[in-house]
Amino acid sequence: MSNLQMHGTTVVAIRHNGQIAIGADGQATMGNTVAKNNIKKIRKLSAGKVIVGFAGGTADAFTLLERFEEKLNAHGQNMKRAAIELAKDWRTDRYLRKLEAMMITVNKEELLIISGTGDVLEPDSEVASIGSGSMFAQAAALALKKHAPHLTAEEMVKESLHIAADICIYTNHNLTIEVAQ
């Protein structure tokens, strides 16, 4: 294999009617080639109480997931505090700052986007998205929240990802969706 990083994905999380769901497609690409179509980009941490979705270089994302889990353990499972501490380290640590990935983290109360630029964002719209198809999924999610409020957060995530997969060549229909408990 070449030294190209695997990338190309869509992750979306939605808070709606007291429920938070997160999902991702399963496609990984190397350059303009599909390398794998069934990658699991959603991981449960803290005995399933925190769910993380990642986009970017796969090895980079797993490194960040491990660090995030360490931060969760160090800060009593406080997701927001762990996210802030990870973002600080990610931005200042010589090794970590070279990692190219982003994460969405959710628990039953919170929805956060964590980036390598030191950002920990709580989206105003209660919709978070990352990856190559993120803007398609976000637009679909916002429309669904406005025009189909009878749907559950899980149904909205599923439909948003399918819409993104219909448009974005780096997103497929092989989905993993989890609901925060």
9 assigned to active site:
yes
- Of 9, 29, 171, 176, the catalytic one is 9
Task: Yes or no: say if 122 and 112 are a contact pair by the CB < 8 Å rule.
Answer: yes
Q: Among 16, 9, 8, which residue's Cα sits nearest to residue 141?
A: 16
Residues 6+ apart with CB under 8 A from 17: 149, 152, 153
Q: Among 151, 131, 44, which residue's Cα sits nearest to residue 143?
A: 151
Residues 6+ apart with CB under 8 A from 89: 67, 96
Q: Known catalytic residues?
A: 9
